[in-house]
Structure 1
Amino acid sequence: MKKIHFVESDPWLSPFAQEIYNMVSYCEKRECEFLQGSSITSFARGYDYYGIHAMDTHLVIREWAPNATKVYLLCDENGWLPREDYQFNGTSEGNWIIHIPESSLRPGALYALWMEWDGGAARRIPAWATFVEQDPETLAFSAKYIPYKPYEWKNTIPQKVASPMIYEAHIGMSGSEPKVHSYDHFTDHILPRIHQAGYNVIQLMAIPEHPYYGSFGYHVSSFFAPSSRFGSPDSLRRLIDTAHGMGIHVIMDLVHSHAVKNEVEGLGRYDGTQYQFFHDGPRGKHPAWDSLCFDYHKPEVVHFLLSNIQYWMESFHFDGFRFDGVTSMLYLDHGLERSFTQYSDYYQGGLDWDAIAYLRLANKLIKEINSDALSIAEEMSGLPGLAEENENGGLGFDYRMAMGVPDFWIRMVKDTPDTDWSMGDIFHQLTSHRKEEKVVSYVESHDQALVGDKTIIFRLLDKAMYDSMRKDQPSLDVDRGIALHKMIRLATLTMAGGAYLNFMGNEFGHPEWIDFPREGNNWSYLHARRLWNLMDDTSLKYHWLGDFDHDMIHWAEECNLLSEEKVEMLVCNEGDKVLAYRRGAYLFLFNFHYENSYEGYTIPTKGSRYRVVLHTDAISYGGFNRVDADMTYYAMPSIQNNQEQRIRIYLPSRMAIVLKEDKI
């Protein structure tokens, strides 16, 4: 029996070892069945066959619709009517093909399909369409023919990021005006901000086309089409190319966990059946998301999804993906109403082995295309082996989103006075993850910024956000909130299990929630934007938080902090509210006490000397400058034990200090 690394290293998994081995064997068997001896990159090139392609003197269009009885092309040339001279020819494999003169679809022409089946017929957007546009008056979507023309890439893809500092962003709401912003606006105005702020990875949301803007891009309709709301495909390529020139990687928020149930715009009942792409019956409908669930057992579906991955990486040079909704994929019940507090919660016959086989293949494909690419799982159950390499029996993700961290901070800020915060709980929650996996730690993502929820800064400041954010407006509430905001982010970053993430605007404490246009707000764009002027205005306190985040990110990236895996606790004093730990050459000292400052506080450490490299109490960060940043601290032997070394340091209340060890 082949050894599986994460099983061998964790004795608590031994009761479930046989099931894990059987699952891995099943996945390997499915891989052989799918690939049939070909390479995975050759298998995942469906976009070279399906969709619309220019030949010598004509165009060829292919689609897969096994239940259809007739398929027609609809376009301006035939008056958008299903005419016989625009009828596809069917094959035994369920494929449909048509050859038409180039004059039938000129560059920029709109088109769609008319699909018939026993008992019905309907207009459809081609599943392999690479650009889809919505009519502003009728709101109907149509595919748009854009002839292939190689994009002239100016910059090479950057080398692998050792410590990903991820900036989660949404193109449409990235500007200050209440409207939908473009790829070009993001490239020209937001990319320079992200670069200046020090982030080395951008995670773009809502790129594949989606009918409802307010879905945040999580109800995808056209999987191969970058959203036309934001501009042309080449504008997206320019964005990625420009980011690469800045040394920034760009990853996509990829939604392969489900699809929008829309039939006219999406894949729902595409060929008249529910089961073409999705499971038939109740299993094909997600009970919580009002969407459709892919059938990962079908070779055609796996081919479609893997081709989608390769398409984005090859045609647009994306540097990887953050896979959305992985927990929903892993479990037959989507992980709903399950606590995952013990290993038996994972292995009780509830795992979807076909979905796991697909995810293993997806990660294998990503690495074969670009070995430096990033693959991140949005996954909350903590399934063993998720972020373990395929070769070791794992699913192959590089990172798992540490989804418990923002939930922890919300509980702390919302339900527990900071006078009662537990230092041990903070350390445990921020460092807890499986040995074999790396995680992306974050204080808050877009989820915590949506209307109906609250960001950390809003929970800390509440109404003071509205009337006390000018520097000439003193406020103890704001002083407290700004101090804790910096400490929370510094602790989360410096104890992160491999990578760190921030959502656009949260670095400077953006005061507005996110509310996309909808019937309930009279279709307003007022809160679907980011107010960058608040951070830029030096008369306001927001820029203090932005300046601190800038210095924190630059420092952590420059010293490659997160590549050092070990985080060693040094002090955990619940009474004093002091937490201290070491990571590599750095000491991190936190005093969470609301009023007590400590003179000559003793910190056990290695023998050496230390200097201040960052602290949250600088006046430039909205602090009170109670720390001598030029001070050098020398470790001295302990009186009780000459083998132990200690430093003594002044720790003001509600602040944190980062010290670097200097070798003598």
Structure 2
Amino acid sequence: MVTKKTSTKKASEKKTSARITKAKEPAHIGLVKNDSYLAPYEDAIRGRHEHALWKMNQLTQDGKLSLSEFANGYNYYGLHRTKDGWVFREWAPNATEIFLIGDFNDWKEQEAYQCQRLEGTGNWELILPEDALQHGQYYKMRVHWQGGEGERIPAWAQRVVQDDATKIFSAQVWAPKKPFVWKKKTFKPQTSPLLIYECHIGMAQDEEKVGTYNEFREKVLPRIIKDGYNAIQIMAIQEHPYYGSFGYHVSSFFAASSRFGTPEDLKALIDEAHKNGVAVIMDIVHSHAVKNEVEGLGNLAGDPNQYFYPGERHEHPAWDSLCFDYGKDEVLHFLLSNCKYWLEEYHFDGFRFDGVTSMLYYSHGLGEAFCNYADYFNGHQDDNAICYLTLANCLIHEVNKNAVTIAEEVSGMPGLAAKFKDGGYGFDYRMAMNIPDYWIKTIKELPDESWKPSSIFWEIKNRRSDEKTISYCESHDQALVGDKTIIFRLVDADMYWHFRKGDETEMVHRGIALHKMIRLATLAAINGGYLNFMGNEFGHPEWIDFPREGNGWSYKYARRQWNLVDNKELCYHFLGDFDQRMLEVVKSEKKFNETPVQEIWHNDGDQILAFSRGELIFVFNFSPTRSFYDYGFLVPEGSYNVVLNTDATEYGGNGFADDTVEHFTNADPLYEKDHKGWLKLYIPARSAVVLRKK
């Protein structure tokens, strides 16, 4: 199929393309085979699938090119050193004149730096001798159009920097004499399971400042490796004018943010991660773009619709940003090339696509309830965006068959993380955004004695059978000002005054206990991956508030206080130590993802839940007051040892149970033929235990 093409096998690709157009369709497309409730919408599913195939054939000239070859725009556009000098190209169909200006010509228009329009196209080109530019110099375009002119940063610029004094952004000539040499040239992510540490380079340091790629590599990456995560998901890589946007208002899509260091610094970070078995996933923003005209694409050459939808669809009503026109081939070329660029140039292992819900619907998902399947096929969907996302996944997996793609999507659009050949959009995973919403709602609205294990179990494993998910309790969203992390909702102000060992209040004990149980339950029930935002694993006490006028441009809350978890006199290390051991236990079960979640028992009255995965048994007692002696579960006969207990003193618990005891099942004549017996346990209130069959 298309998803398995490679750019080195053109003959095979032509045959594949021919099969695509001539092959007889199966009786039912895969999505409908897997979910009969989708049968009424099979025509729409087929229509979207065929539209993507048609567009793919169009872009690849009916298979003469591979999709990967089509997405080589970053090698053509922008500024590049050649064997004879330099070449600069830009797509600007509405421009009448373009000059390259910079500190090499006193920022003045000069004939020697005037671009020429390539006949019959919207492309402009400038060829310069070797001595015309030097590494490190700053430049921009001076663009003229009918009725106006302005300075612009090239859309395909691969290095953009901000002047410390003036705060003005400029592109920068970047051609170091010694190119970066990768020590780890090939890498395959570990995905069984995928354990993601979501992070932000700038706010990853203890100091009140903007951290760097090098500081992250030296100080934070070793923590992540030690904790046991096998992937990092880095936010805010693409250059963005406003630091406080968290990287979601992108201006230069091909430029790694210079706030954090040089391109070589970022490559060194990724190389070091790969050497230690850690995949690096990029948080990519293709759902919208910053409105800025000087720094961004908002009005590159006098046409505000060059990259973006016209009319009412031009601006995002909630994000104060611009919406890409996914129906334009040039925009598809720009965005698909952007995907390939980050894979090839920086060796990223894949992407978490931000704001997918906003892309899928004309309404951006705002005010929509999404109550039934009809809401996904009612004509309110942007077929252009659906086509782009499908093509992006095909391309990414063509460039790197081991790449990981994740969709941040809240509506529940079926097929998003299903295989392309089955009529899906081809993502490897979708974010399980229902889970953090459920935990927050439960903590906010229900007293502890009303927590129902049946509801918990349903929510943490509620997903489509043919789509993998990334489960999480909380991400960066729950850590921002205006929201609260789980630990803050559980402990509140006592975080500040009673988190020293020996001084804990009942609220602190409760918070520590439930924080561990919530994480363990969520991780134990995954069917793909698990995500944690940096610092949340040890209950970081502060929200995130980037420097802004309202806080006096302070960095106090735009950092991570690692000193708290390092201080053994405080309770934070209990949570951090537990998180590390929890990941160890899950990774110790071979093929954890492929092992089904099997319910053993739940009782909402007792607030007890038990389920198994392979040789592991997970038992939870959510009751705040009731402990149970000899609570019995029917399990495969044999002996079981405790491998993790949230109530252990080393994790801040009471240590009520003796975890050195080996537990043997008791025979029952009724279940002997099934080789099952009764496992009887002491389960303290508000605790969870994991046992392994010996």
**For this structure pair, what is the TM-score category when the shorter chain's length is used for normalisation?**
over 0.9
**Alignment partner for residue 444 of structure 2, among 414, 419, 422?**
414
**Alignment partner for residue 98 of structure 2, among 47, 62, 71?**
71
In the alignment, the residues of structure 2 paired with residue 462 and residue 556 of structure 1 have an alpha-carbon distance, to the nearest angstrom, of: 30
**Alignment partner for residue 275 of structure 1, among 305, 319, 334?**
305
Moved more, 353-362 or 246-255: 353-362
Give the 3-state SS of the residue equivalent to 2:625 in structure 1.
Answer: coil
**Alignment partner for residue 101 of structure 1, among 129, 133, 145?**
129
Moved more, 607-616 or 459-468: 607-616
In the alignment, the residues of structure 2 paired with residue 9 and residue 565 of structure 1 have an alpha-carbon distance, to the nearest angstrom, of: 20
| Cα distance, 1:456–1:541 mapped onto 2, change above 3 Å | same
Task: Please say if residues 74 and 80 of structure 1, whose CA atoms lie closer than 8 Å, have aligned partners that are also in contact.
Answer: yes
Please state if 1:32 is matched with 2:57.
Answer: yes
Task: Report the CA distance between 1:137 and its aligned residue.
Answer: 1.4
Residue matched to 2:198:
168
2:500 is matched by which residue type in structure 1?
R
Please state if 1:126 is matched with 2:126.
Answer: no
Task: Report the CA distance between 1:64 and its aligned residue.
Answer: 0.3
Q: TM-score, normalised on structure 2?
A: 0.94
**Alignment partner for residue 594 of structure 1, among 624, 627, 631?**
624
Moved more, 23-32 or 642-651: 642-651
Give the 3-state SS of the residue equivalent to 2:157 in structure 1.
Answer: coil
Task: Report the CA distance between 1:101 and its aligned residue.
Answer: 2.4
Residue matched to 1:8:
33
Task: Report the CA distance between 1:7 and its aligned residue.
Answer: 1.1
**Alignment partner for residue 467 of structure 2, among 409, 418, 437?**
437
Give the 3-state SS of the residue equivalent to 1:572 in structure 2.
Answer: strand
Give the 3-state SS of the residue equivalent to 2:540 in structure 1.
Answer: coil
Task: Please say if residues 278 and 293 of structure 1, whose CA atoms lie closer than 8 Å, have aligned partners that are also in contact.
Answer: yes
Task: Please say if residues 27 and 353 of structure 1, whose CA atoms lie closer than 8 Å, have aligned partners that are also in contact.
Answer: no
**Alignment partner for residue 44 of structure 2, among 19, 35, 49?**
19
| Cα distance, 1:255–1:24 mapped onto 2, change above 3 Å | same
| Cα distance, 1:143–1:166 mapped onto 2, change above 3 Å | same
Task: Please say if residues 498 and 562 of structure 1, whose CA atoms lie closer than 8 Å, have aligned partners that are also in contact.
Answer: no
1:336-485 equivalence runs, <5 A: 336-485=366-515
In the alignment, the residues of structure 1 paired with residue 37 and residue 325 of structure 2 have an alpha-carbon distance, to the nearest angstrom, of: 32
Please state if 1:505 is matched with 2:535.
Answer: yes
Task: Report the CA distance between 1:274 and its aligned residue.
Answer: 1.7
**Alignment partner for residue 58 of structure 1, among 80, 85, 99?**
85
Residue matched to 1:651:
683
1:217-256 equivalence runs, <5 A: 217-256=247-286
Please state if 1:216 is matched with 2:241.
Answer: no
Residue matched to 2:117:
90
Task: Please say if residues 564 and 584 of structure 1, whose CA atoms lie closer than 8 Å, have aligned partners that are also in contact.
Answer: no
Q: Deviations over 1:437-474 (max 9, x none)?
A: 01000010000001111100011001111111110213
Give the 3-state SS of the residue equivalent to 1:517 in structure 2.
Answer: coil
Task: Report the CA distance between 1:410 and its aligned residue.
Answer: 0.5
Task: Report the CA distance between 1:499 and its aligned residue.
Answer: 0.3
Residue matched to 1:115:
143
**Alignment partner for residue 518 of structure 1, among 516, 526, 548?**
548
**Alignment partner for residue 135 of structure 1, among 163, 178, 181?**
163
1:518 is matched by which residue type in structure 2?
R
Q: Deviations over 1:199-224 (max 9, x none)?
A: 00000000010000000000000000
Give the 3-state SS of the residue equivalent to 1:582 in structure 2.
Answer: strand
1:409 is matched by which residue type in structure 2?
W
Task: Please say if residues 177 and 529 of structure 1, whose CA atoms lie closer than 8 Å, have aligned partners that are also in contact.
Answer: yes
Unaligned runs of 5+ in 1: none
Please state if 1:188 is matched with 2:215.
Answer: no
Task: Please say if residues 423 and 578 of structure 1, whose CA atoms lie closer than 8 Å, have aligned partners that are also in contact.
Answer: yes
In the alignment, the residues of structure 1 paired with residue 173 and residue 504 of structure 2 have an alpha-carbon distance, to the nearest angstrom, of: 59
Task: Please say if residues 64 and 95 of structure 1, whose CA atoms lie closer than 8 Å, have aligned partners that are also in contact.
Answer: yes
Please state if 1:329 is matched with 2:356.
Answer: no
Task: Please say if residues 131 and 228 of structure 1, whose CA atoms lie closer than 8 Å, have aligned partners that are also in contact.
Answer: yes
Q: Deviations over 1:110-152 (max 9, x none)?
A: 0000111111111100111111011111111000001165321
In the alignment, the residues of structure 1 paired with residue 290 and residue 462 of structure 2 have an alpha-carbon distance, to the nearest angstrom, of: 35
**Alignment partner for residue 578 of structure 1, among 573, 595, 608?**
608
Task: Report the CA distance between 1:613 and its aligned residue.
Answer: 0.9
Task: Please say if residues 189 and 349 of structure 2, whose CA atoms lie closer than 8 Å, have aligned partners that are also in contact.
Answer: no
In the alignment, the residues of structure 2 paired with residue 561 and residue 43 of structure 1 have an alpha-carbon distance, to the nearest angstrom, of: 37
Please state if 1:158 is matched with 2:187.
Answer: yes
Task: Report the CA distance between 1:108 and its aligned residue.
Answer: 0.3
Runs of 4+ in structure 1 over 3 Å off: 637-644
Identity of aligned residues (%): 52
In the alignment, the residues of structure 2 paired with residue 479 and residue 541 of structure 1 have an alpha-carbon distance, to the nearest angstrom, of: 10
Task: Please say if residues 474 and 533 of structure 2, whose CA atoms lie closer than 8 Å, have aligned partners that are also in contact.
Answer: yes
Residue matched to 1:81:
108
In the alignment, the residues of structure 2 paired with residue 346 and residue 54 of structure 1 have an alpha-carbon distance, to the nearest angstrom, of: 47
Task: Please say if residues 592 and 653 of structure 1, whose CA atoms lie closer than 8 Å, have aligned partners that are also in contact.
Answer: yes
Task: Report the CA distance between 1:640 and its aligned residue.
Answer: 5.8
In the alignment, the residues of structure 2 paired with residue 484 and residue 28 of structure 1 have an alpha-carbon distance, to the nearest angstrom, of: 48
Task: Report the CA distance between 1:639 and its aligned residue.
Answer: 6.3
In the alignment, the residues of structure 1 paired with residue 36 and residue 572 of structure 2 have an alpha-carbon distance, to the nearest angstrom, of: 49
In the alignment, the residues of structure 2 paired with residue 84 and residue 462 of structure 1 have an alpha-carbon distance, to the nearest angstrom, of: 65
Unaligned runs of 5+ in 2: 1-24
In the alignment, the residues of structure 2 paired with residue 306 and residue 532 of structure 1 have an alpha-carbon distance, to the nearest angstrom, of: 38
Task: Report the CA distance between 1:559 and its aligned residue.
Answer: 2.3
1:83 is matched by which residue type in structure 2?
Q
Task: Please say if residues 498 and 565 of structure 1, whose CA atoms lie closer than 8 Å, have aligned partners that are also in contact.
Answer: no
Task: Please say if residues 125 and 266 of structure 1, whose CA atoms lie closer than 8 Å, have aligned partners that are also in contact.
Answer: yes
Give the 3-state SS of the residue equivalent to 2:385 in structure 1.
Answer: helix
Task: Report the CA distance between 1:27 and its aligned residue.
Answer: 1.3
In the alignment, the residues of structure 1 paired with residue 246 and residue 590 of structure 2 have an alpha-carbon distance, to the nearest angstrom, of: 32
Give the 3-state SS of the residue equivalent to 2:556 in structure 1.
Answer: coil
In the alignment, the residues of structure 2 paired with residue 425 and residue 561 of structure 1 have an alpha-carbon distance, to the nearest angstrom, of: 27
**Alignment partner for residue 297 of structure 1, among 327, 336, 344?**
327
Task: Please say if residues 474 and 485 of structure 2, whose CA atoms lie closer than 8 Å, have aligned partners that are also in contact.
Answer: yes
In the alignment, the residues of structure 2 paired with residue 272 and residue 76 of structure 1 have an alpha-carbon distance, to the nearest angstrom, of: 25
Give the 3-state SS of the residue equivalent to 1:185 in structure 2.
Answer: helix
Task: Report the CA distance between 1:565 and its aligned residue.
Answer: 4.5
Give the 3-state SS of the residue equivalent to 1:432 in structure 2.
Answer: coil
Q: Deviations over 1:251-302 (max 9, x none)?
A: 1000011111110000001121121111111112111111111111111111
1:47 is matched by which residue type in structure 2?
Y
1:547-626 equivalence runs, <5 A: 547-560=577-590, 562-626=592-656
Give the 3-state SS of the residue equivalent to 1:628 in structure 2.
Answer: coil
Task: Report the CA distance between 1:355 and its aligned residue.
Answer: 1.1
In the alignment, the residues of structure 2 paired with residue 341 and residue 645 of structure 1 have an alpha-carbon distance, to the nearest angstrom, of: 43
Q: TM-score, normalised on structure 1?
A: 0.98
Q: Say what the alpha-carbon RMSD is for the aligned residues.
A: 1.3
In the alignment, the residues of structure 2 paired with residue 208 and residue 43 of structure 1 have an alpha-carbon distance, to the nearest angstrom, of: 22
* Alignment: residue pair count: 662
